[in-house]
Structure 1
Amino acid sequence: MSDHTPPPGASDGPEPSGPPERGGAPERDMLAKAPSGSAGTSAASPGTGTGTARPGAIAGPPKIPAYAQAGGPQYPADPWQRPGPRPQPSALSKLRPAGPAVISAATLCCVAATAVLSALLLGDGLGVNALIVAVPAALGAFFAARTARRRLRPWTAFWALGGLALLAVPALRDAGWPVFLAVVSAIALGSLALHGSRSWLGVFLGSLGLLCAIADGLAWGGRGVRARMDGSQKRLGGVVRSAGVAVVLLVVFGALFASADAAFADVLGSLMPDVSVSDSPWRLLLFMTGLIGALAAGYAAAAPVRWDGITVRPGKARGRLEWALPLIVLNLLFAVFVAVQLTVLLGGYDKVMAETDLSYSAYARQGFWQLLWATVLTLLVIALALRWAPRGRSGDRTLVRAVLGALCLLTLTVVASALRRMDLYVDAYGLTRLRISVAAVELWLGVVILLIVAAGFFGARLLPRAVAASAAIGVLAFGLVSPDGLIAEQNVQRYRADHSIDIDYLRGLSADAVPALDALPEPLRSCALRDIEQSLNENDTAWYATSWGEARARDILRERSPHATAEACDPSRTGVGGGGRGGDESDPYDPY
């Protein structure tokens, strides 16, 4: 039976001139006048339940059910569907664009290279291998972004280059704590480069955005591999055979050349990673980490989450008096503190210590931590004040700039006072890792306050990214200046001035401190370097996991190996601890 029906308004025959007769005469006339070749030659349509049509009779068009007619009752497509609201899309799906295209071959190759290099190189520690592994991952993200037709913007290039620069810290420094900060900051900058956020919340969430792309990246990579496996078995087989032949040739001829020349065997052994069966689970974990990370980076580059789409509504604007009065009182308190600090600076610390009955070191220790927290809380006050600041009129903006600008300038004086206290602190007790770390944090908080002041003059559009960039630059500078080297150098200079040094603390530093500790006289030199040399001898790592600081320390220790005995390293002979200028004899060692 044909499904064709005549168009609306079409007629199979002339219209009857008179009114229709009873008894169904019009229907008989229409059937009699219809051409024999018309559609619908059977007397009954499916589902009508009628019998066989009479010879020569033509059936009418099939009857349309009521629920399918226009304006008729509508039924759900699924009769088992429960009534209720449809599930709403997640917030993440609203911020992420449509799914990316199939992963490209270039991105797949970069992902595979990242996974293999992670398994081969990262198992022995961090050095230049961190940068070697990051390069193919960055290239894979670049190819994925280019396939998605994303443009390279200046801030994206800045974040990407900054992340790669931070990975130079493991290649230069042996100390683990600045290396850890550098690696974490590099991952955060890489995530920012992929997402391109600019607001406060966007910059914060964008630095963690790679975590949201892990599951989607794995699914994206799996779909791409399946799509390329379909219909490409012959080509894949050729690639596998070619790779197998290349591996066999390398093994055979490499073994022959290594057995023929000892120098070549030594070079080949230093270049090849040391992979054993016992390390297989650890290598497999590193392989999966590199694979997942590279896929997440590629997926984020192809379909980044627009974290700037999350908007935070501004707080309710307060009246001028309600908003400004607490801040003006706080400014007056800051001004009184600054005046006292200027009096102390002009009158001298000796007069203050005589009046307050405090030692030199106690006065320094008493104030730094409080001033550090005062700086942090001031930034919190500024953030809350901007949220509830009066706005709308030019006078309101002038009031906000005047009050908060004065608070920022006074806070800078507090930062300077805190750094001066730390200088006195270090002069009394020497430099340690904790002291140099908190001093660096205080210095960075001062930079943030300067950026806030600049935003009051030039606008706050770039402020979130400027603060993030200042943090990244600070971490990079902190790693490049070698904190352990600075600690050792300052303590050596302090020993030359007052013959007081804490050998027990210095011997726990990393290999970065060896050049400075090598300048100590014997037996202090051997006492300080003995543990470091023992640690280096126990950890004979490959070239790709060896930093420049460790290699330099090995060269120094190879020329002059420590030879001090246990008696020579006795604390009573080496002058362990001891206060410096104005030190407190009852407290020879300060835990901070």
Structure 2
Amino acid sequence: MTAPTLWAIMATALLSALLFGEGLGLNLTIVAVPAVLAAAFAARDAGRRPRPWTLVWAVGGLALLAVPALLDAGWPTFLALVSALALTAFALHGGRGWPSVLLGPVGLIDSLGAGTTWVWNGVRERAGGSRGKAGPVLRTVAVAALLLVVFGALFAGADAAFAELLGSLIPDVSLSQAPWRLSLLLLGLFGAISLARTAAAPLRWDRVVFKPGRARGRLEWALPLIVLDLLFAAFNAVQLTVLLGGYDEVLSAPDPAFYSEYARQGFWQLLVATCLTLAVIGLALRWAPRADARDRTLVRAVLGTVCVLTLVVVASALRRMDLYVDAYGLTRLRVSVTAMEIWLGVVILLIMAAGVFGARLLPRALAASAAAAVLAFGLASPDALVAERNVERFAENGAIDLRYLEGLSADAVPALDRLPEPQRSCALRDIDARLREDDGSWYATSWSQARARDILRDRAVNRSVGPCGEPSREEEYDPYADDPYDVP
């Protein structure tokens, strides 16, 4: 192990301990820089050179870190972090087949044990080769740190403005936080070790060979799918008929619960049908015979028909959710599952393209589409969309669930700020209280939080407003009102 790799690992650990204790914001990007450098140095020392797809995964992973830097909501941030970790594993391991895509993240865990021994041996070698040189360096660092602490404390005591500036720039490292800071240091240390070791000695997942499925007879695999095609065609014919004019009967139903049940249950059932269709396609591709041209033509015809009809199912599911949102408003869960249904439609299109142009790039295309979907979902700011749609609905018919809206994140503040009083203060008072309690440093503050604080500073929340009302009867009936979306 070379000195640059070791120093990058140590920098990652130190920054993790200092910054992560106060929140996310820009912290993830700041800590990611030395971690990426550690992996790059280790890969260079091992003789590995970056390939085009390696750069694609690396850039995609760094782009996903923009979500916590921009947004305050927890769920999009969680999705972005998981996706960024997966893309990092793809970049470090390489490979293009299904084993690399499915098992790549496991390699990071496998590298942790071997990586710890690898780093320890590297530290011992560096220490043995630098005896007599470490002393002056350590003394210099100690003197510089002592001077900063002493004179920084004196200047902070002499001027309140300087003390406030210093407090916003330097993390709180009080002794009461020592256990928490130590945990974060170890997290950053072992995380950087895992990345560096994987970059130097990745697992070759593409060498894992899955045994192909035994080819079935044409009748055995094709007949069930043809029957499924006919069922899809019949369902889609009914959906198209309703879509072209039959919704008026549903909308005019005397019982609102009937309308809700029609849209809500229909969406979930169609979402499950889409997922099951993907499983059916995967199994059919495994068992379908493709020994000659006639078999390949039959596979493309039957599965292509399934894919086309599934796209109609996707459109029908999205239409039902749109009806439900028009009636009862947008929530975090609804916008999330709608985004998932749209991505499933993209997956169907990619499978169709693989059937025409070949499936060599399909694993990478699916992984890239998932990461792009997560990035787009985060940058679209789900909480802002929810607030925007509900504010528009309030302007149209006066219906609003203030209890739900006050649980949104700071991303929703610009839209909620347009509400009239007292609805505005009712929706914003909890968000305002959370922002006042969590007035973090610049590196732990997202752009959304900073913008919300500016808005609430210019136009303060009226905390003397009375009770903000109960949810309407529709919203009490609505089972999504308590959706488990909020992640602290």
Q: Which TM-score applies when normalising by structure 2?
A: 0.95
1:269: how far off?
2.2
Q: CA offset at residue 356 of structure 1? A: 11
In 1, distance between residues paired with 2:314 and 2:105? 28
Contact 1:500-1:578 at 8 Å conserved across structures = no
Distance verdict in 2 for CA 1:286–1:355, change over 3 Å: closer
Higher RCO (C-alpha under 8 Å, 6+ residues apart) = 2
Name the counterpart of 1:453: 352
- Please name the residue that 1:125 is paired with: 23
Measured against aligned partners, the alpha-carbon deviations of 1:480-519 in whole angstroms (never above 9, x if no partner) come to 1110110001000001111100001001111111111010
The residue aligned with 2:379 is 480
Q: Is the 8 A contact 2:274 2:313 kept in 1?
A: yes
Match of 2:279 in 1: 380
Instruction: State the match for 1:490 in structure 2.
Output: 389
Change beyond 3 A, Cα 1:588–1:339:
closer
Matched, 1:250 2:148: yes
Three-state SS of the structure 2 residue aligned to 1:233 is: coil
Alignment of 1:186-201 (within 5 A): 186-201=84-99
Residue of structure 2 in register with 1:392 after alignment: 291
Distance verdict in 2 for CA 1:590–1:240, change over 3 Å = closer
**Residue 181 of structure 2 is aligned to residue 288 of structure 1:** no
1:537: how far off? 1.2
Following the alignment from structure 2 to structure 1, what is the Cα–Cα distance between the partners of residues 222 and 316?
26
TM-score by length of 1: 0.79
- Specify the alignment match of 1:427 in structure 2: 326
The 5 A counterparts of 1:409-420 are: 409-420=308-319
CA distance 1:588–1:281, shift in 2 (3 Å): closer
User: Counterpart of 1:331 in structure 2: which amino acid?
Assistant: D
Structure 2: which amino acid aligns with 1:328? I
Quick check: 1:505 aligned with 2:404? yes
C-alpha distance in 1, partners of 2:253/2:188?
62
Paired letter, 2:17? A
Q: Does 1:298 align with 2:196?
A: yes
C-alpha deviation, 1:208, in angstroms: 2.9
Query: For residues 588 and 170 of structure 1, what CA distance do their matches in structure 2 show?
Result: 30
Which one is further off, 341-350 or 126-135?
A: 341-350
* CA–CA separation in structure 1 for the residues paired with 2:228 and 2:129: 73
- For the residue of structure 2 that corresponds to 1:151, the secondary structure is coil
Cross-structure match for 1:547: 446
Aligned position for 1:536:
435
C-alpha spacing 1:251/1:353, structure 2 compared with 1 (3 Å) = closer
- Alpha-carbon distance in 1 for matches of 2:11, 2:28: 13
Q: Is the 8 A contact 2:250 2:259 kept in 1?
A: no
5+ residue gaps in structure 2? Answer: 484-488
Residue of structure 2 equivalent to 1:137: 35
Structure-2 residue corresponding to 1:351: 249
Q: Cα offset for 1:174? A: 0.5
Residue 331 of structure 2 contacts residue 480 of structure 2 at CA under 8 Å; is this kept in 1?
A: no
Percent identity between the two aligned chains:
66
Distance 1:300 1:227 in 2: 20
Q: Write the mapping of 1:255-266 to structure 2, written as runs, cut at 5 A.
A: 255=153, 257-258=155-156, 262-266=160-164
Shift of 1:586: 8.8
Distance of 1:217 and 1:231 partners within structure 2: 21
Which structure features the higher share of helix residues? 2
Structure 1 counterpart of 2:462, from 563, 567, 576: 563
Cα RMSD of the aligned pairs, angstroms, is 1.8
Structure 1 residue 353: deviation in Å?
A: 5.9
Q: What residue in structure 1 maps to residue 477 of structure 2?
A: 587
Pick from 450, 465, 469 the counterpart of residue 364 of structure 2: 465
Residue 284 of structure 1 aligns to which amino acid in structure 2?
A: L
Matches of 2:454 and 2:222 in 1, distance apart? 62
Conserved? CA contact 1:145–1:302, under 8 Å = yes
Query: d(CA) in 2 for partners of 1:535 and 1:351?
Result: 45
**How is 1:147-226 mapped onto 2 (pairs within 5 angstroms)?**
147-226=45-124
Structure 2 residue 222 is matched with structure 1 residue 324: yes
Structure 1 stretch displaced more, 433-442 or 346-355 = 346-355
Which residue of structure 2 lines up, in the alignment, with residue 520 of structure 1? Answer: 419
Letter in 1 for 2:14: V
Where does 1:27-106 land on structure 2 (aligned, <5 Å)?
103-106=1-4
Please state how far the C-alpha of 1:245 moved relative to its aligned partner. Answer: 2.2
Residue 68 of structure 1 corresponds to none
Q: CA deviation at 1:368?
A: 0.3
* 2:177 alignment partner in structure 1: 279
Residue 274 of structure 2 contacts residue 310 of structure 2 at CA under 8 Å; is this kept in 1?
A: yes
CA-CA distance at 1:565 after TM superposition:
3.3
* Residue in 2 that maps onto 1:315: 213
1:169 aligned partner, one-letter code: V
What are the equivalent positions in structure 2 for 1:17-32 lying under 5 Å apart? none
Is 484-493 or 248-257 further displaced after alignment? 248-257
Asked if the contact 1:375/1:445 (under 8 Å) is kept, the reply is: yes
Q: Which residue of 1 aligns with 2:126?
A: 228
Q: Secondary structure at the match of 1:230?
A: helix
CA distance in structure 1 between the partners assigned to 2:251 and 2:16 by the alignment: 57
Q: Which deviates more, 261-270 or 113-122?
A: 261-270
**What amino acid is the match of 2:444?**
A
Contact residue 429 and residue 590 of structure 1 kept, 8 A: no
Q: In 2, distance between residues paired with 1:410 and 1:141? A: 45
- Tell me the SS of whatever aligns to 2:132: helix
TM alignment of 1:4-15, pairs within 5 A = none
Which residue identity is paired with 1:244? Answer: A
Whether the aligned pair in 2 keeps the contact of 1:501 and 1:578 (CA below 8 Å) is: no
- Residue 401 of structure 1: aligned partner: 300
Contact residue 119 and residue 286 of structure 1 kept, 8 A: yes
Cα-to-partner distance string for 1:502-559 (whole Å, 9 max, x where unaligned): 0010011111111110100100001111111111111221111111111111111111
Query: Over alpha carbons, which structure has the higher Rg?
Result: 1
Shift of 1:267: 2.4
Shift of 1:151: 1.3
Identify unmatched segments of 5+ residues in structure 1.
1-102, 580-584
Query: Within the alignment, does 1:577 sit opposite 2:472 as a pair?
Result: yes
Residues 295/431 of structure 1: CA separation in 2 closer, same or farther (3 Å cut): same
Counterpart code for 2:472: G
* Residue correspondences, number: 481
